[in-house]
A and B are shown apart, each in its own frame.
Chain A
Amino acid sequence: KAGVTQTPRYLIKTRGQQVTLSCSPISGHRSVSWYQQTPGQGLQFLFEYFSETQRNKGNFPGRFSGRQFSNSRSEMNVSTLELGDSALYLCASSFSLNYGYTFGSGTRLTVV
């Protein structure tokens, strides 16, 4: 059974650009959540989707957005990139809300 797949693995963008990250959950999983991991702030929750609906959102600016498709795949978008957005972005999927999540390997975004 394939795990959570995140693409791309690495990304370098220029300040002011926008970026889209993709996440394919484990087959059968309907809940997808996104996290930002940095050395200074640790793991921070971005948002969670279930059945194409955003269920909750962390404390991030509106430049961070996401969506979930009918096949449970999810995308995360960051507009007007800032240097501080450089981080490892992790996606996780679960069968349902409040089950344990399975994490992907992440997309490492570097903003220059």
Chain B
Amino acid sequence: AQSVAQPEDQVNVAEGNPLTVKCTYSVSGNPYLFWYVQYPNRGLQFLLKYITGDNLVKGSYGFEAEFNKSQTSFHLKKPSALVSDSALYFCAVRDEGNQFYFGTGTSLTVIP
């Protein structure tokens, strides 16, 4: 079955340290991959996407993600975390049948 996994429900990182939010997927073919962020009391916001091309994708707010086809992963990264990055992060995949699958979300807390 097609699926998206975010193995960590919660990630804590100190301000200024690099952060990684993990995502792996099980989707046949060549999927499109997305990251969304949900700040408290606000709707989901698009961060970045991978369609094709360079495996390292840069997005909003200094975030980037690396597509790894062999490991079927699309981890979200940021070199230096800010307290304002604390939010809920969702990984999403669109398969070749144009079906969307979302991960269960990872709550990121950046500690001052």
B residues sitting closer than 8 Å to A (CB atoms) are: 32, 34, 36, 42-49, 51, 90, 92, 94, 97-105
> How large, as a class, is the contact surface on chain A?
20 to 34
Q: How far apart sit A20 and B34, CA to CA, in the bound complex (Å)?
A: 29
Flag if A43 contacts B49 (CB, 8 Å).
no
Q: Is A23 an interface residue (CB 8 A)?
A: no
**Contact A58 to B51, CB < 8 A, known contacts A43-B90, A92-B44:** no
CB B7 to nearest CB in A, in angstroms, measures 14
Q: How far apart sit A55 and B48, CA to CA, in the bound complex (Å)?
A: 22
Select from chain B the residue with minimum beta-carbon distance to A106: B43
**Contact A42 to B98, CB < 8 A, known contacts A100-B46, A103-B45, A105-B43:** no
Which of the residues A4, A43, A44, A45 comes within 8 Å of B43, measured between beta carbons? A4
Q: How far apart sit A4 and B97, CA to CA, in the bound complex (Å)?
A: 25
Flag if B100 contacts A33 (CB, 8 Å).
yes
Flag if B43 contacts A90 (CB, 8 Å).
yes
Contact with B along A72-112 (1 / 0, CB 8 A): 00000000000000000010100001111111111000000
Q: Is A56 an interface residue (CB 8 A)?
A: yes
CB B28 to nearest CB in A, in angstroms, measures 15
Q: How far apart sit A42 and B88, CA to CA, in the bound complex (Å)?
A: 12
Q: How far apart sit A104 and B46, CA to CA, in the bound complex (Å)?
A: 12
Flag if B43 contacts A56 (CB, 8 Å).
no
Flag if A44 contacts B51 (CB, 8 Å).
no
Which residues of chain A are near B43, meaning CB under 8 Å?
3-4, 90, 102-106
Q: How far apart sit A58 and B104, CA to CA, in the bound complex (Å)?
A: 17
Flag if B98 contacts A55 (CB, 8 Å).
yes
Which residues of chain A are near B90, meaning CB under 8 Å?
43
CB-based closest 9 A-B pairs:
A100-B46, A45-B100, A43-B102, A103-B44, A56-B98, A103-B43, A42-B104, A105-B43, A100-B49
Select from chain B the residue with minimum beta-carbon distance to A44: B102
Flag if B44 contacts A98 (CB, 8 Å).
no
